Amino acid sequence: MKKTFRSMLMLSVVLGLVAVLFSPVMAGYVGTPSTSFRDPVVSPMKPSDTYSSSIVEVGYLKGADQKEDQSMAPVGRLDEQFGSNGLVIKDLSGKEKVKACFYFPGYNYKWAGNVYRWSGTKWVKQTTTITNDPAATPMACASGLGNGTYALIIYYWGPQEFTVEETVQNFD
């Protein structure tokens, strides 16, 4: 009886290990992919100011290059990347100005950034403040903006992250 019980126990353990090691595992992404951005929000500085705005997807921004990791970076600045879709503001006249806010959920996770304006040859930093929307999502905002193309450009300031290949090479 003892031998039968031991044999059954060992058989159960072996079958359990085989089942765990060779069972198919399905992996999927849960959440919002990083390639889908919330569009920036524009508001007039004075209620009487009139303007029009349109969204420009990151891949269509002027002065942008695609990096190896498929993110989009400002030309010549591979340590930075665009943090959201861009924004074109037009039809402002005279002294009319607007405020533009870009959603920046990574701000609390060792990412920093600023709103930039495309000058025609380079991205020019605008004075930027970080605020929260009513749902407590960080937003990078710039006020007093005129006609032009604007984007949120971000960079990571936390500790360097290693990939598995880099880590293995460092131990060789």
Quote the number of domains for the chain.
1
- pLDDT range class, residue 71, cuts 50, 70, 90: confident
CA angle 133, 138, 144 (to 5 degrees): 75
Report whether pLDDT(90) > 80. yes
63 in a domain, yes or no?
yes
| pLDDT digits 0-9 by tens, 7-50 | 766 767 666 655 555 544 433 333 333 445 688 999 998 888 89
Q: How far apart are CA 108 and CA 121, in angstroms?
A: 31
Q: How far apart are CA 151 and CA 63, in angstroms?
A: 11
Domain of residue 125: give its range. Answer: 41-156
pLDDT on residue 169? 58
pLDDT on residue 4? 73
Sign of the Cα torsion 15, 16, 18, 22 reads positive
pLDDT on residue 94? 82
47 in a domain, yes or no?
yes
125 in a domain, yes or no?
yes
Q: How far apart are CA 99 and CA 45, in angstroms?
A: 6
CA angle 99, 103, 107 (to 5 degrees): 115
| pLDDT digits 0-9 by tens, 96-124 | 999 999 998 877 778 889 999 999 999 99
Mean pLDDT, residues 142-152 taken together: 94
- pLDDT range class, residue 52, cuts 50, 70, 90: very high
Residue 142: closest CA among 93, 91, 94, 86: 86
Residue 103: closest CA among 154, 42, 38: 38
Q: How far apart are CA 50 and CA 42, in angstroms?
A: 11
121 in a domain, yes or no?
yes
Mean pLDDT, residues 74-83 taken together: 85
